[in-house]
Amino acid sequence: MPTSQYIDFSAFMATRFDGKMQKLTVNAGFSCPNRDGTIGRGGCTYCNNKSFSPAYCQSSDSITDQLIKGKAFFGKKYPSMRYLAYFQSYTNTHGEVSRLLSLYDEALSVDGVDGLIIGTRPDCMPDELLKRLGEMATDKYIMVEYGAESSHDDTLNLINRCHTWQQTSDAVRRTASAGIDVGLHLIMGLPGETDEMMFETIDAVNAIPVNIIKIHQLQLIRGTRMAMDVANGAYDIRRFTVNEYIALCCKIISRLRDDIAIERFVSQSPDELLIYPRWGLKNYQFTNLLHSRLKTQQAQEEDHT
Ligand code: SF4
């Protein structure tokens, strides 16, 4: 059930490629500078990295093997599919530039892989690496996806992100200037944030050269510092119903700059790790509900004109 009210990931990719593109997640065995002491210790309070690696990517397999397994998985249904290697887990620009480049080159040398999406932190993009990525982007597709989470530094402090919004906006501007597409990851419902604060984050995103965003509801995950804080009563988190979260997403869509695509609205951690929210909806089911709401709203607006 497509909607014309925002640009989704497929529509965005159609502006960059002719055929159908599938992301293949690779786990290159990186660590995180907010865990290993380079920038901080303990990590972001909501993070349990086990919650975001699909089963087909084990860091004990080479990048090539992971991509071949991923292609076998998706290629059965769509033999003509082309791929983007998605360096997702942890901080995929945290390391020696020469080592990083050899991992990226390995991914790009796999048959059928036409580009890279590199997930990282905004404080972990040295100029030297950005320059090399900009050179690669002249003949391969490159997107850098930064974890921004919020534009509010107080929130970023509370969740121990160990970077500021200023660092995010600098990284976004430098990356766009290098000729590379920029994605941002944002979390809705972080502790202490009101709807107005979340909209201010969207306004801040609108002011910088971002191509695509991913948003998701805050998930309370077992084994995290945040789960402990909430259990101990240090603070609580925002408890959206599905309907409330859909209403928030509709407002975000209407507030977001028209040319910024939205790749997703919800995240789904493994059931055994998830404490809250337990909406019992798959991502596509949530998106269908959202699209129905958008259509209803549009019909009501047309009735009033
Ligand atoms: S969310 Fe990212 S930056 Fe934060 S601790 Fe987890 S891997 Fe590190």
Q: Give, using CA atoms, the residue closest to atom 2 of ligand 1.
A: 90
Q: Indicate which CATH number applies to the domain containing 202.
A: 3.20.20.70
Amino acid at 245: Y
Angle at 159 between CA 276 and CA 133, to 5 degrees: 105
pLDDT band at 3 (very low <50, low <70, confident <90, very high): low
- Cross-strand pairs, 146: 120, 184
Is 4 within a domain?
no
Q: Are 179 and 130 in contact (CB under 8 A)?
A: no
For residue 105, give both structure tokens: 């080159």
Res 28 pLDDT > 70: yes
Q: Is the dihedral of CA 251, 255, 257, 258 positive or negative?
A: positive
Q: What is the mean pLDDT of residues 157-172?
A: 97
- For ligand 1, whether the C-beta of 187 sits within 6 Å is no
Count CB neighbours of 276 within 10 A: 16
Q: How far does the centroid of ligand 1 lie from the alpha carbon of residue 35, in Å?
A: 8
Q: What are phi and psi of 206, to 5 degrees?
A: -60, -25
Q: What is the mean pLDDT of residues 209-232?
A: 97
Q: Write the Ramachandran bin of 90: left for phi over 0, alpha for psi from -120 to 50, otherwise beta.
A: left
Res 59 pLDDT > 70: no
Is 238 within a domain?
yes
Q: Looking at residue 150, what is its pLDDT?
A: 98
- For ligand 1, whether the C-beta of 119 sits within 6 Å is no
Res 49 pLDDT > 90: no
Q: Count of residues for the chain?
A: 305
Res 197 pLDDT > 90: yes
Is 193 within a domain?
yes
Q: Looking at residue 56, what is its pLDDT?
A: 52
Distance CA 269, CA 290 (A): 20
Res 193 pLDDT > 60: yes
Pocket test for ligand 1, best of 35, 161, 187 (most atoms within 8 A of CB): 35
- For ligand 1, whether the C-beta of 34 sits within 6 Å is yes
Lowest-confidence segment of 45-59, 144-158, 248-262 by average pLDDT = 45-59
Which pTM does this prediction carry?
0.94
pLDDT 10s digits, 247-268: 999 999 999 999 999 999 999 8
Query: Domain total for the chain?
Result: 1
Peptide bond into 126 cis (omega under 30): no
Is 1 within a domain?
no
Is 230 within a domain?
yes
Is 28 within a domain?
yes
Q: Looking at residue 58, what is its pLDDT?
A: 57
Amino acid at 142: I
Q: Looking at residue 77, what is its pLDDT?
A: 84
Range of the domain at 275: 9-303
Q: How far does the centroid of ligand 1 lie from the alpha carbon of residue 44, in Å?
A: 5
Q: Are 277 and 238 in contact (CB under 8 A)?
A: no
Is 173 within a domain?
yes
Res 52 pLDDT > 90: no
* Mean pLDDT taken over the chain: 93
* Percentage of the residues of the chain whose pLDDT score is greater than 90: 85
pLDDT 10s digits, 99-143: 999 999 999 999 999 999 999 999 999 999 999 999 999 999 999
Q: Looking at residue 60, what is its pLDDT?
A: 77
Using alpha carbons, select from 164, 154, 149 the residue that is nearest to residue 213.
Answer: 149
Q: Looking at residue 79, what is its pLDDT?
A: 85
Is 216 within a domain?
yes
Pocket test for ligand 1, best of 36, 41, 46, 47 (most atoms within 8 A of CB): 47
Give the number of the atom of ligand 1 that is nearest the alpha carbon of residue 43.
Answer: 5
Q: How far does the centroid of ligand 1 lie from the alpha carbon of residue 89, in Å?
A: 9
pLDDT band at 153 (very low <50, low <70, confident <90, very high): very high
The DSSP element (H or E) to which 230 belongs, if any, is: helix 225-231
